[in-house]
Amino acid sequence: MDKPQTRYAKSADVNVAYQVVGDGPLDLVMAWGWLQHLDLQWAEPTIATFLNRLASFSRLIIFDKRGVGLSDPVQGTPTFEERMDDIRAVMDAVGSERAALLGFSEGAALTALYAASHPERTTALILYDGVVVGGLAEGAPTEELWGDQLERSRADLDRWGEGDTMDWIAPSLVERGLPKSAWGAFERASMSPGMARALWDAVERLDVRRVLPTIAVPTLVMSHSQSAIPSAQGRLMADLIPGARYIELPGRDHLPGAGDPEAVAGEIEEFLTGARARAEPDRVLATVLFTDIVDSTRRASELGDRAWLQLRDRHDALVRAQLERFRGREVKHTGDGFVASFDGPARAIRCACSVGDEARELGIEVRAGLHTGECELIGDDLGGLAVHIAARVGAKAGAGEVLVSGTVKDLVMGSGIDLVERGDHELKGVPGRWQLYSVGGRDGR
């Protein structure tokens, strides 16, 4: 789906930027958290996937809060009343008389207050990884509701624009190799350092606990079990809102779309519509690479825990560097290996060879297996038979060997890559026999 057009609604003397995505039968207004930028969010595939999924069953209305992103800058910290007026202005601009509200992170307090104040315009309320009690609120059990997040966020303010918030907002994007420079640009575009500090101070002081018992619309509260915002916030919301339904999902990511976008979007769809669509998975032709450190258990025992962890960290860094060099995408870290995907098999082979060469200089051997086929896109993960075949090819490789399927061999013809027959093999769980090929000079030495 193309990036939607950004428009502006007038809220008193402030221009509030908004976008409308989809044309579903129900309106869903989403209020983001601390960081937000309407245009740049579409450049990150994880966020775009999540938003498009919401738009598959709704008319999704998203906006930048005043002082943030593409909306007008403001002097001082906006009040809840002003930000509620922004929701009303955006709904009026798009002709929405009644809508479900989705409040994420800091946006949970705003949407909860709006739902309590304007039940006639609110059909339902979803509070997702929400914050409704700040760390400086009077009588708040700070340690339970915040853990060590307050100190981490305060430290990030001193380095605003360097991308440090990504470490706790979206750890899966860090592991996937998204450069901090890219996230730093998102921080800077979202707000200035001064505004970031002022708005974070407001987050620390907010407290809507007395408002929650007055909410009279159907409410869903969702938290992630290992998110930077402790799930105690979500449980508190569910306890205080009459009849609220609480769901705790596995995962560490706080950012919408990171980790498993379908898990969150599916729960929202079922809550709002009564059913969860069985969407056909997106499919893509990809070359899948499996790597594995040979005899990792033995080496760990020989070196001891500390030395082994240091060596494995160096291995992980070199693999990620080669993935970036050859335009591969890290799909999964398996502990002593990686799963990665490429849109070109020749680059995948060259990446695997470089990983093997670099690893040998560390005193370890890496084996690799590759197969090209149609894969299912499942959030940031890959599924399907092609992934299974690549794993089985990798299991057949010897120490230092790069082994490929016949499909890969056919696709790299004319590339100058030397492939040597390794015979036909049975691959566990895969029908038939498969002809495998070893990259020349890498035959299990």
Q: pLDDT for 191-237, tens place per residue? A: 999 999 998 988 888 899 999 999 999 999 999 989 988 899 999 99
Report which residue type is found at 136. Answer: L
The residue type of 151 is E
**Strands in 294-401 per DSSP E:** 329-333, 337-342, 366-378, 381-383
The pLDDT assigned to 3 comes to 77
CATH pick for 282-439 out of 3.30.70.1230, 3.20.190.10, 3.30.450.20, 3.40.50.970: 3.30.70.1230
Find where tokens 């082979």 sit: 349
* Tokens encoding 342: 């490429």
Tokens matching residue 51: 């938003």
Q: What is the pLDDT of residue 280?
A: 55
Confidence of residue 351 (pLDDT cuts 50, 70, 90): very high
Look at 91-95, 122-126, 226-230 and tell me which has the smallest mean pLDDT. 226-230
Residue 112, both tokens: 């909860």
For 246-305, write each residue's pLDDT tens digit: 999 998 899 887 878 888 999 999 999 998 776 555 778 899 999 999 998 888 888 898
7: β partners: 18
pLDDT value of residue 445: 38
Single pTM value for the model:
0.66
Distance from C-alpha of 51 to C-alpha of 105, rounded to nearest angstrom = 16
Rounded to 5 degrees, φ, ψ at 141 are -75, 80
pLDDT bracket for residue 34 (50, 70, 90): confident
- What are phi and psi for residue 32, nearest 5 degrees? -75, 180
| Structure token pair of residue 313 | 């960290």
User: Residue 379: which pLDDT band, with cuts at 50, 70 and 90?
Assistant: confident
Listed range (117-121, 186-190, 240-244, 381-385) with the worst mean pLDDT: 381-385
d(CA 156, CA 415): 47
Phi and psi at residue 31, in whole multiples of 5°? Answer: -110, 115
Task: Give pLDDT tens digits for 369-378.
Answer: 999 998 988 7
Q: Which sequence spans correspond to the domains of the chain?
A: 7-273, 282-439
> Are residues 366 and 355 in contact, defined by beta-carbon separation less than 8 angstroms?
yes
Q: What is the DSSP letter of 119?
A: G
Q: Are 402 and 352 in contact (CB under 8 A)?
A: yes
Q: What is the pLDDT of residue 125?
A: 97
**Residues 117/220, Cβ–Cβ less than 8 Å:** no
- CA atoms lying within 13 Å on the CB side of residue 334: 15
Beta strands in 276-389, from DSSP E residues, in sequence order: 282-293, 329-333, 337-342, 366-378, 381-383
Averaged pLDDT, 293-321: 91
Name residue 223's beta-bridge partners. Answer: 248
CB 323 within 8 A of CB 337: no
Count other C-beta atoms under 10 Å from residue 182's C-beta. Answer: 14
What gap in Å lies between CA 186 and CA 432, rounded to an integer?
49
CATH number of this structure's domain 7-273: 3.40.50.1820
**Residue 360 falls in which region: left (phi positive, over 0), alpha (psi -120 to 50) or beta:** alpha
Confidence (pLDDT) at 297: 87
